[in-house]
Chain A
Amino acid sequence: MKKVKLMVAVLGCSLWSAQLLGQPARFTNQTEFGLLQGKGAFKQGGSFTLQTFNGIRLNEFAEVGGTVGLDAYPDITLVPLAFGWRGVIPAGNVSPFLAMDVGYAFDWLKKETEISWYSGGLMFNPSIGVRIRSKKTDRFLLAVGYKRQQYSHYEGRLLSGGFAVVPETERSALPPGFEFLQRDDYILQRLSIRVGVMF
């Protein structure tokens, strides 16, 4: 499995560098906002998403770059940073495209306390859409996709009173000074619906 991963990575990198060397790169930006629809684990309510993809155009079919976003879920607002790829079928005024963003979302915007904290998690967001040319070069876009986002919430209770004796080997299971810890591992699965503009 490792070998396969390594081969894919090497192949990807070599293709990319070949493309970069082959022709002059052009910067591209795709900024979108929209909704993340789905059945929440506990709290219902729509989630709002904003993201911007900045990359270079390898050729008329492919773009690679980085994606930065802001996803406001009912429970938490996360900041995803991702590697982004866009594959385009150029076709006049309406060009279909595929998008893939894979990365990690951070919990930077969530307040933490001694007994309650969050950790972000992996993010995976494939989508499909169309880019619509209007007037000269500006393009609008519409895209739908699937967004999978992991994150964890920790909430604990500090030791109070009695001095618990815990065998050394088992101490690592709890942070020092805690008598109880609940870890909720969420996997959010949403339908992403976005509109945006390209520069």
Chain B
Amino acid sequence: MPLIQMQELNKKYNSGKVSVEALKDINVDVEENEFIAIVGPSGSGKSTLMNIMGCLDAPSSGDYILDGAKVSDLKPNRLADIRNRKIGFVFQNFNLLPYASAYENVELPLIFGGIGPKRRKSRVMELLDRVGLADRAEHKPTELSGGEMQRVAIARALANNPAIILADEPTGNLDSVAGGSIMEIFHELHRDGATLIVITHDRQIANNIPRVIKLKDGLVVDSL
């Protein structure tokens, strides 16, 4: 059974009298340990699709099945738990808490997941070590470079061993060197068995990713 099943997924936005169809009849399956790039012009519905996959937004109609659970039926608390345990987010603008250190940022999903302090500590250090930032644990986001911030965000996304990692333009705010090292980490994670979905504008990045889904005007126009 696929890790993710999307069946006849629609998303409409109603702003006043005008209703915009952001996604139209999406049918996509994602298997475990797939590495997928979602590409398409802006306004094509990439982010909307990612938000629905990440349980941050609900589809207007259709079914979204994640790891066997029909997400559209779930209550807010169950959705929060799914976001916490099964999904790891990486955002274009990092979305780190500005007042918290790298350590505290990585710790957050573990706190929300109810992990005890001792296990949290070793887990946070292990994660920071994995993204090569063990020596930056006490630094605030403002004291880190863009690439370092995004690596903290990746460590945070990995905290609870999620079933899937969703990254929305993870290199969009980075220079090519920093962006390259972020993609290197994603490829490593893929080799280690992770399932990843990345939105990108960058053709070169997409070319290195095994499967590419192309969206246009809310429709899947090309799925390899």
A-B complex is real: no
Enumerate chain B interface residues (CB-CB to A < 8 A): none
Enumerate chain A interface residues (CB-CB to B < 8 A): none
